[in-house]
Amino acid sequence: MGQVLHGSATTTEAIRRAIQNSQESLRALARRYGINQKTVAKWKKRTSVADLPTGPRELKSTLLSLEEEAIIVAFRRHTLLPLDDCLYALQPTIPHLTRSSLHRCLQRHGISRLPEVEGDKPGKKKFKRYPIGYFHIDIAEVRTAEGKLHLFVAIDRTSKFAYAELHEKAGKMAAAQFLRNLVAAVPYAIHTVLTDNGIQFTNRKQDRHAFEHIFDRVCCDNGIEHRLTKVKHPWTNGQVERMNRTIKEATVKRFHYDDHAQLRQHLQDFIDAYNFGRRLKTLKGLTPYEHICKCWTKERERFRLDPIHQMPGLNT
């Protein structure tokens, strides 16, 4: 097997071994092998003929302090979150933390790879890419001490912008009004909505000769294509199903609400925090609002108004 030497090496292992075993002077050996006397002296002092590893002998970060590295290591071992999720969670505490410095820190401590989960992993399928304005819509039930409510949720397939409302009834009129409110709330044009085959969104098979469904009329009035999921295939609308679960885990599954008003206020606060503050891996670390602003700079023809006008707080 051939020797692996660094690019600037002037000696081989055989020459180095001969230098170490020779009794000749440094000048004589340097003349014989055509090298500098300092090189001869260096190999005379060493007991090995292998190149020393390059770089610092003690691995440490030039960007992170020991305390910050300890925080990162403890957080990773406790949460077992992926690299990007760790980055987004730690940056508020360590503002100068970058993705590369985080990765190098995890490598130094031997925790850059998460443990493999037992069992066969199903292959991940990527969603087909669509321009901004493709919304998934669904309905879920939630409860407060006052009674039952129907949660209408919509999420953009591309920007992940979410919109939600609570209604006491889940009829087709409520669904149609929800779509009108969604169109008014979004700063860009909606070109497609995907729903299930519930009576709130479409006529039943036995009613196929009835008048056009009001949800379809609202779609037509706003130039929106209405698509339906395949019957008994709820995973087709999986994005909004997952958003339903996220909302429930942040609200009704965690807190008790004495009345509907408390839940409505908390739901609105959560949706605002999600749209304007939650950084998503699928958006490469951007929030839904930041992604919308990015699209605004590239595809202004799709927008009805400048999204900066919908930013909460003062515009300065």
Confidence band, pLDDT 50/70/90 cuts, at residue 120 = low
CATH superfamily of 134-310: Ribonuclease H-like superfamily/Ribonuclease H (3.30.420.10)
- Range among 45-59, 222-236, 288-302 rated most confident: 288-302
Instruction: State how far Cα 117 lies from the chain centre.
Output: 20
Is pLDDT above 80 for 61?
A: no
Q: What is the pLDDT of residue 219?
A: 94
Which backbone phi and psi does 45 adopt, to 5 degrees? -80, -25
CA distance 194 to 255: 30
Confidence band, pLDDT 50/70/90 cuts, at residue 211 = confident
Span 278-301, pLDDT tens digits: 888 888 889 999 999 999 999 889
Three-state DSSP state, 263: helix
- Range among 9-13, 94-98, 120-124, 235-239 rated most confident: 94-98
The two structure tokens encoding residue 154: 């919509």
Hey, how many other C-beta atoms are within 10 angstroms of the C-beta on 243? 22
Confidence band, pLDDT 50/70/90 cuts, at residue 1 = very low
Q: How far is CA 59 from each of CA 54, 108, 109, 179, 240, rounded to the nearest angstrom?
A: 11, 7, 10, 57, 46
Q: What is the pLDDT of residue 118?
A: 58
Is pLDDT above 60 for 23?
A: yes
Span 166-195, pLDDT tens digits: 999 989 999 999 999 999 999 999 999 999
Domain ranges for the chain: 13-45, 66-108, 134-310
Q: What is the pLDDT of residue 63?
A: 82
Portion of the chain with pLDDT greater than 90, in percent: 45
Q: Which residues are 150's β-sheet partners?
A: 141, 167
pTM to 2 decimals?
0.67
Is pLDDT above 50 for 125?
A: yes
Residue 3 burial (C-beta neighbours within 10 Å; 0-12, 13-18, 19+): exposed
